[in-house]
């Protein structure tokens, strides 16, 4: 970018709150893969679920931000203090599993993008792992943040692609407003994956911690609410663009997506070589951004729950658990991606689906905490709020259940 633009850009970034950052980082490689597959396979048919997911995201993010502002504590802290050691371990296992799955899909995204550019994944993925580790551990936190935000801007390329491709407005409106359900395993997998990538568990922990770190009071909560909502709108809009782009091109032409590279290449006849490069660049940027935040957020959340020393500014000896978790998540995710012959796109999709399956477990904790009058005082969830929250949790649990049944059923049939 030209040097003269930098101050303006930085000023803009300074306004970005934790809600915006969390939501933007939520549209990661797994998200791209899930949305692209959804658009290519079912056209506009899953747009209604995207709308519901975004509304749910707004509901949950607002709840977490409110909890952070009211109690001044992170989500892990609250779970530990209110539910004790055993339940905390359950919650942390769910979080660790979900985050490992998502981090794996991030590295799968790196591998995919690299292969579009003609670089072997056996070179690109380890390099990316080392880069991410180094940026977080060795760089100062300020510069880390700048690197991350700079990478996040590559997401704009999705929106540009959506503008270039001609769209059918009526079909889109129908897709959003009329739920179209296909009773197929693939549809359920994509649906759960879509929920999982839109409302990733790590985002909730990350947002609440950020609200606490910034010392936001519940009295000045209005701004935070706007920040959270604008984050959801941005994330939802980017997801919407990806789905409509792939629906208008790949689905129209009946091209099945078997890899994310397919999706990128399939855009070529429509939008020229430009679309392909944008797709890969966006994928790479989003993957690197999220794979920097995810292992870090995981380590912070788990250490917070167990009262262990946690900070990037400490040395390994000072915070061994923190660095072990951080490094372990990167190493395991990176290793999974490097298993020879593993289908990258499916890996990303499964990662997001696992996220979706584990999400209801964490939602139960979150909504129980948010309804606790002793904890939240007058900011606790009211009756209507509670009803909606539990309804949503039950719906998501049902969806996860359907996925499990169809997967297990698929194994035996």
> Which parts of this chain interact with another protein (CB under 8 A)?
71, 73, 77, 80-81, 84-86, 88-89, 306-307, 309, 314, 317-319, 368, 374-375
Q: Residue 77 and residue 84: Cα distance in Å, rounded? A: 10
Phi, psi of 267 (to 5 degrees): -75, -20
**CB 307, min distance to another protein, A:** 3
Instruction: Please enumerate in sequence order all residues whose Cβ is within 8 A of that of 76, keeping only pairs 6 or more positions apart, or say none.
Output: 88, 91, 92, 205, 301, 302, 304, 305
Q: In whole angstroms, give the CA distance from residue 37 to residue 43.
A: 9
Nearest Cα residue to 212 out of 104, 64, 340 = 64
Please say whether the dihedral angle defined by the alpha carbons of residues 310, 29, 287 and 233, taken in this order, is positive or negative. negative
CA separation for the pair 76, 97 (Å, rounded): 15
Write down the least CB distance from residue 81 to another protein, Å. 5
Please state at what angle helix 29-42 crosses helix 268-306, rounded to 10 degrees.
130
SS3 content of the chain, % helix, strand, coil (to 5): 85, 0, 15
**Closest distance of CB 183 from another protein, Å:** 34
Min dist. Cβ of residue 70 to another protein (A):
9
Contact 106, 30 (CB under 8 A): yes
Nearer to another protein, 80 or 251 (CB): 80
- Taking the complex as a whole, how short is the minimal distance between the CB of residue 318 and another protein, in angstroms? 5
Question: Helices (DSSP H) in 117-259: which residue ranges?
Answer: 121-137, 141-152, 156-164, 169-177, 185-198, 201-213, 221-246, 252-253
In a 3-state reduction of DSSP, which class is residue 246? helix
Residue 307 or 382 having the CB closest to another protein: 307
Question: What's the closest the beta carbon of residue 63 comes to another protein, in angstroms?
Answer: 17
Nearest approach in angstroms of CB 207 to another protein is: 20
Phi, psi of 2 (to 5 degrees): -65, 145
What's the token pair of residue 99? 């985050």
Nearer to another protein, 89 or 127 (CB): 89
CB of 217 to another protein, least distance (A): 15
d(CA 260, CA 267) in angstroms, rounded, equals: 11
**Which residues fall within 8 angstroms of residue 60, CB to CB, at 6 or more apart?**
199, 204, 363, 366
Nearer of residues 71 and 353 to another protein, judged by Cβ: 71
Least Cβ distance, residue 311 to another protein (angstroms): 8
Smaller CB separation from another protein, 73 or 276: 73
Closest-CA residue to 209 (of 88, 79, 380):
79
């Amino acid at each position: 970018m030209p040097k003269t633009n930098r101050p303006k850009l930085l000023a803009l970034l300074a306004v970005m709150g934790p809600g915006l950052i969390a939501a933007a980082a939520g549209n990661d490689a797994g998200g791209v893969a899930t949305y692209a597959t959804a658009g290519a396979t079912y056209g506009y048919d899953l747009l209604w679920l995207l709308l519901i997911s975004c509304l749910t995201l707004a509901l949950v993010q607002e709840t977490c931000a409110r909890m952070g502002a009211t109690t001044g504590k992170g989500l892990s802290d609250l779970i530990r203090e209110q539910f004790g050691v055993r339940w905390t371990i359950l919650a942390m296992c769910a979080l660790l599993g979900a985050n490992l799955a998502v981090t794996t899909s991030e590295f799968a995204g790196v591998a995919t993008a690299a292969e579009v550019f003609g670089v072997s994944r056996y070179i690109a993925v380890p390099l990316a792992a080392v880069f991410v580790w180094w940026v977080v551990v060795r760089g100062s936190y300020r510069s880390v943040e700048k690197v991350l935000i700079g990478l996040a801007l590559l997401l704009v390329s999705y929106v540009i692609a959506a503008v270039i491709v001609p769209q059918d407005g009526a079909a889109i409106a129908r897709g959003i407003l009329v739920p179209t359900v296909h009773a197929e395993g693939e549809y359920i997998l994509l649906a759960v994956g879509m929920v999982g990538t839109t409302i990733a568990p790590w985002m909730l922990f990350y947002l609440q911690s950020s609200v606490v770190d910034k010392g936001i009071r519940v009295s000045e909560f209005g701004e935070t609410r706007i920040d959270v909502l604008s984050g959801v709108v941005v994330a939802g809009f980017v997801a919407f663009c990806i789905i409509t782009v792939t629906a208008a091109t790949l689905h129209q032409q009946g091209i099945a997506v078997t890899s994310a590279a397919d999706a990128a290449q399939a855009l070529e006849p429509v939008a020229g070589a430009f679309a392909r490069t944008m797709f890969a660049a966006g994928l790479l940027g989003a993957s690197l951004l999220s794979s920097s935040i995810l292992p870090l957020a995981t380590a912070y959340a788990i250490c917070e729950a167990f009262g262990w020393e946690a900070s990037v500014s400490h040395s390994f000896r000072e915070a061994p658990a923190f660095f072990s978790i951080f490094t372990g998540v990167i190493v395991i995710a990176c290793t999974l991606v490097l298993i020879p012959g593993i289908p990258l796109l499916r890996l990303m999709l499964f990662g997001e689906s696992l996220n979706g399956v584990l999400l209801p477990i964490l939602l139960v904790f979150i909504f129980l905490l948010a309804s606790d009058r002793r904890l939240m005082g007058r900011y606790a969830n009211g009756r209507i709020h509670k009803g909606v929250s539990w309804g949503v949790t039950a719906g998501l649990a049902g969806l996860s259940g359907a996925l499990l049944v169809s997967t297990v059923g698929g194994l035996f049939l």
